[in-house]
Amino acid sequence: MGRATIKDVALKAGVSIATVSRYINNNGNVSKKISEKINKAIKELDYIPNSVAISLKKAITKTIGIVVPDLLNVSFMDTVKGISDKVLENGYEPLILCSDENSDKENNILDVLVSKRVDGIVIASVGKNEEKILKINNKNIPIVLVDRDVCNKSQHTVIDAVVNDNLNGSFKIINYLISLGHKRIAIISNKNSIIGMERFRGYIKALKQNNIPINPNYIMYGDFSFKSGYDLIKEMMLQPLKPTAIFFINNLMALGAVAALNEMNISIPFHISICAFGDFKYYNILNPTMTVVNQMAYDVGKKAAELLIEKIKNYNHWVPKKIIIPADIIIRNSCSKPFE
């Protein structure tokens, strides 16, 4: 026997095809008694409605595009899971794509999502595509920015965003290092990233408020990758006057640094204290476990998806919102008083 059709359901339920169509599409009044008959027929025949046909009729696809710059980064993996769980819970299918921190690739991905007529997009943008993102958002495809707010340049919110409190998170963790007695505090940042520079400003703010001189030798820039953390810590530790603590603006660079320090037989935290922005699930495999700013990546993703679904439902009367998730630090064992 072939796949059941809407005609088979109508015959079994003893109603017209039009009535079954109204029931499936939730379009028009169908009595409770008739609905029960149709639902029973659907179950008995194992009928699966043609989602493509429904989408064409209703001009919706029940799909949500999710765009992130790095699927190897555990923080983005958690963000994607938060988004996916929430959209699936609301009857949407996630379409997950990775831009590999490449703005041209991100531009092409956005074209693909528009052509596939997704109902909305959650994006952690690389940057440089702000104009296109705003244009798509204004063309009846709602967009929510996640993790990186690349479009709202002032206090006026023009597009929805869910982000961490990057500046204050960094400010708190640098103040924690200072409370332990550290003054020679280095940072591995990323000057090509909006969140990188926000976290860098938190570092500068904490040093200035505590009257600690800013040493250019203690400021280096990576690209968020494991390799850049690995390479830069080796370069940093060649300095005659070494830092006593280093803050990494993401956890992947911090993990690269830990690998390099282990190779060099430099003990954490006895010889140097290490901390990072962004927690990761398997922190307990590290010895010592790492002190971090809790990025709450899953919650950020879930909140972004909630906001997008709400925006889809109320698009014509929507006022853009920016949600900032508070950042707290998780104190573990990778930081101690300075060794000198």
- Tens-place pLDDT, residues 43-63: 888 887 765 555 555 567 899
Q: Domains of the chain: which residue ranges?
A: 6-58, 63-163+297-325, 166-295
116: Cβ–Cβ under 8 A, 6 or more apart, which residues? 61, 63, 65, 95
3-state secondary structure of 134: helix
**Please, what CATH class does the domain formed by 6-58 belong to?**
mainly alpha
Please check whether the domain covering 63-163+297-325 is classified as CATH 3.30.390.50: no
Mean of the per-residue pLDDT values for the chain? 91
Cα–Cα distance, 282 to 289 (Å, whole number): 10
Along the 340 residues of the chain, how does pLDDT read in single tens digits? 467 888 999 999 999 988 988 888 776 788 889 999 998 998 888 887 765 555 555 567 899 999 999 998 888 999 999 999 999 999 999 999 999 989 999 999 999 999 888 999 999 999 889 999 999 998 889 999 999 988 887 778 899 999 999 999 999 999 999 999 999 999 999 998 889 999 999 999 999 999 999 999 999 999 999 999 999 999 999 999 999 999 999 999 999 999 999 999 999 999 999 999 998 777 778 889 999 999 999 999 999 999 999 999 998 889 999 999 998 999 999 999 998 6
Whether 63-163+297-325 and 166-295 share one fold: the answer is: yes
Cα–Cα distance, 16 to 160 (Å, whole number): 44
DSSP code of residue 30: -
Cα–Cα distance, 52 to 58 (Å, whole number): 10
CA atoms within 13 A on the CB side of 26: 1
Cα–Cα distance, 320 to 340 (Å, whole number): 51
Q: Are the beta carbons of 178 and 245 closer than 8 angstroms? A: no
In angstroms and rounded to an integer, the radius of gyration of the C-alpha atoms of the chain is 25
3-state secondary structure of 123: strand
Question: For the structural domain made of 166-295, what CATH number should be given?
Answer: 3.40.50.2300
Q: Report the 10 Å Cβ neighbour count for 338.
A: 17
pTM for the full predicted model? 0.80
* Widest pairwise Cα distance in the chain: 87
CA atoms within 13 A on the CB side of 247: 34
Q: Which tokens go with 208? A: 């200035």
3-state secondary structure of 23: helix
Burial degree of 258 (CB within 10 A; 0-12, 13-18, 19+): buried
3-state secondary structure of 74: helix
